[in-house]
């Protein structure tokens, strides 16, 4: 049965806001990002969109070794038999599948929301004792002030200069958070905090730290066959798909991923001079991620799930591991990167980037879908407008090193 990939990349907005209505800006974001789901597709699958330029790109790309995928811009019930695969399993996605007569392997909405909540990951990292020292849940300005003072003492920093982050229950790509310094709040910070507290939400405080590197492990939670379920007593089974190192630019924005495995341990990671990912640390990352997937399975969640980890400098400059930094019970760009690198990577360190067009143009790189060293995985134009970023598989580590010296 063919699959129809649905790009609801604003998935977390729907979890955070009842009656959420998608803005034009987010409609545009979804239109630009849908093509990246091609990484997960096989011949005969579809992308749910109606862009002529994207259809042309898919035809050209199929000649260059990409899966033979076409677009579909709507459906009449019973028009085709298919299974809907959304970026994140939301109620609107399930309703779309139902209206089209498609199947959709959807967990309960409550389990999806819980597994994606900051509260869920916070509770597990507290239980596993891997949280940043001084991290705390707060639901008042008084609790926030107390958390700042306590954390500043732990980190041996003057309270007035201590930098921190405050995150909401749901967020995506660095959104739904506020950064601060000391206990004094400006009007914008106070307004943001009070609005979320007044709506009954809890906020999550953490010291701002110096990151050494960030990693992700990517999993799939599936419902075992009935015999297996009886044998193990488990509702879901987790499978490790792979692990990646996250790449960010100088502002901290995600720009790509590099697949890593045990072969990368006890060696320098890309862009982390002097730091070696010890095999023991890598094993703890996977061990703690397994705790997350087990807990998500208990909730009744099944489907893709990724766990982000971070190695950072502690109060005395020592490397510390935050093995459960974020949990995303949905597809992720790291998973996209993993699939593209497995399909097209031939070097010992391929990378997939969500790269600004400027990076390519500044270097005069001829990136195309059939260029084996700089392989373009998305078009430069979507819905008659130029995009700011494109997907790119780099198979020459020297190219990645070149970008590191300037942007990463």
pLDDT, tens digit, for every residue of 334-377?
999 999 999 999 888 899 999 999 999 999 999 999 999 999 99
**Residue-range definition of the domain harbouring residue 202:** 133-207
Q: What is the tens place of the pLDDT at every residue in 128-161?
A: 999 999 999 999 999 999 999 999 999 999 999 9
Q: Are residues 325 and 388 in the same domain?
A: yes
Q: Are residues 283 and 248 in the same domain?
A: yes
Structural domain ending residue among the three candidates 207, 222, 249: 207
Structural domain ending residue among the three candidates 160, 188, 207: 207
CATH number of domain containing 164: 3.30.1490
Q: Tokens 């995009």 map to which residue?
A: 387
For residues 167 and 106, what is the distance between their CA atoms, to the nearest angstrom? 27
For residues 100 and 4, what is the distance between their CA atoms, to the nearest angstrom? 11
Can you list the pairs that 228-231 forms with residues at least 24 positions away whose Cβ atoms lie under 8 Å? none
Q: Are residues 30 and 146 in the same domain?
A: no
Residue 117, in any domain of the structure = no
DSSP letter assigned to residue 268: B
Q: Are residues 245 and 225 in the same domain?
A: yes
Residue 257, in any domain of the structure = yes
Q: Which residues on neighbouring strands pair with residue 232, listed in sequence order? A: none
Q: What is the mean pLDDT of the chain?
A: 91
CATH number of domain containing 369: 3.30.470
Q: Are residues 93 and 197 in the same domain?
A: no
For residues 388 and 319, what is the distance between their CA atoms, to the nearest angstrom? 35
Question: Which residues have a Cβ under 8 Å from the Cβ of 104 and sit 6 or more positions away?
Answer: 83, 84, 86, 89, 93, 94, 97, 98
Within 200-349, where are the H helices?
226-232, 279-299, 333-344
Predicted confidence at residue 231, as pLDDT, reads 43
Q: What is the tens place of the pLDDT at every residue in 15-70?
A: 887 778 888 999 999 999 999 999 999 999 999 998 888 999 999 999 999 999 99
Quick one: average pLDDT of 85-92? 95
User: pLDDT confidence of 172, banded at 50, 70, 90?
Assistant: low
Which one is predicted more confidently, 101 or 225? 101
Q: Are residues 10 and 91 in the same domain?
A: yes
Instruction: Return the number of other C-beta atoms located less than 10 Å from residue 342's C-beta.
Output: 14
Residue 111, in any domain of the structure = no
Maximum average pLDDT range among 167-181, 221-235, 262-276, 296-310: 296-310
Question: Which residues have a Cβ under 8 Å from the Cβ of 358 and sit 6 or more positions away?
Answer: none
pTM (2 d.p.): 0.93
Structural domain ending residue among the three candidates 106, 121, 144: 106
Residue 128, in any domain of the structure = no
Total domains present in the chain:
3
Question: Which residues have a Cβ under 8 Å from the Cβ of 201 and sit 6 or more positions away?
Answer: 139, 168, 169
């Amino acid at each position: 049965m063919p699959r129809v990939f649905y790009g609801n990349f604003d998935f977390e907005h729907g979890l955070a806001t009842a009656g959420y209505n998608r803005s034009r800006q987010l409609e545009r974001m979804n239109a630009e990002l849908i093509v990246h789901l091609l990484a997960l597709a096989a011949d005969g699958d579809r992308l749910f969109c109606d862009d002529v330029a994207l259809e042309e790109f898919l035809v050209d790309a199929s000649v260059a070794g990409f899966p033979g995928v076409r677009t579909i811009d709507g459906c009449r019930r019973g028009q085709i038999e298919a299974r809907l695969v959304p970026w994140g399993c939301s109620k609107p996605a399930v309703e779309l599948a139902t209206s089209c007569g498609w199947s959709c392997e959807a967990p309960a909405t409550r389990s999806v929301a819980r597994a994606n909540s900051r509260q869920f990951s916070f509770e597990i990292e507290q239980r596993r004792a891997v949280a940043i020292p001084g991290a705390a849940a707060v639901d008042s300005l008084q609790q926030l002030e107390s958390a700042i003072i306590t954390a500043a003492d732990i980190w041996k920093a003057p309270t007035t200069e201590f930098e921190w982050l405050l995150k909401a229950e749901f967020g995506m790509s660095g959104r739904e958070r506020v950064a601060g310094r000391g206990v004094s709040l400006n009007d914008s910070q106070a307004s943001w905090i009070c609005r979320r507290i007044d709506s009954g939400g809890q906020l999550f405080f953490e010291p701002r730290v110096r990151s050494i590197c960030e990693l992700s492990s990517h999993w799939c939670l599936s419902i075992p066959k009935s015999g297996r379920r009886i044998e193990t007593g488990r509702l879901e089974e987790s499978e490790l798909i792979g692990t990646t190192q996250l790449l960010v630019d100088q502002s901290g924005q995600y720009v790509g991923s590099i697949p890593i495995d045990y072969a990368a341990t006890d060696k320098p990671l890309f862009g982390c001079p002097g730091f070696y990912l010890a095999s023991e640390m890598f094993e703890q990352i996977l061990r703690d991620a397994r705790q997350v997937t087990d807990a998500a399975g208990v909730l009744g969640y099944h489907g893709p799930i990724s766990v982000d980890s971070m190695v950072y400098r502690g109060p005395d400059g020592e490397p510390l591991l935050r093995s459960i930094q974020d949990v995303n019970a949905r597809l992720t760009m790291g998973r996209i990167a993993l699939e593209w690198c497995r399909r097209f990577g031939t070097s010992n360190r391929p990378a997939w980037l969500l790269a600004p067009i400027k990076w390519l143009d500044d270097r005069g790189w001829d990136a195309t879908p059939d260029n084996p060293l700089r392989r373009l995985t998305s078009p430069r134009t979507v819905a008659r407008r130029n995009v700011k970023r494109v997907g790119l598989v780099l198979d020459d580590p020297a190219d990645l090193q070149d970008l590191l010296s300037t942007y990463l």
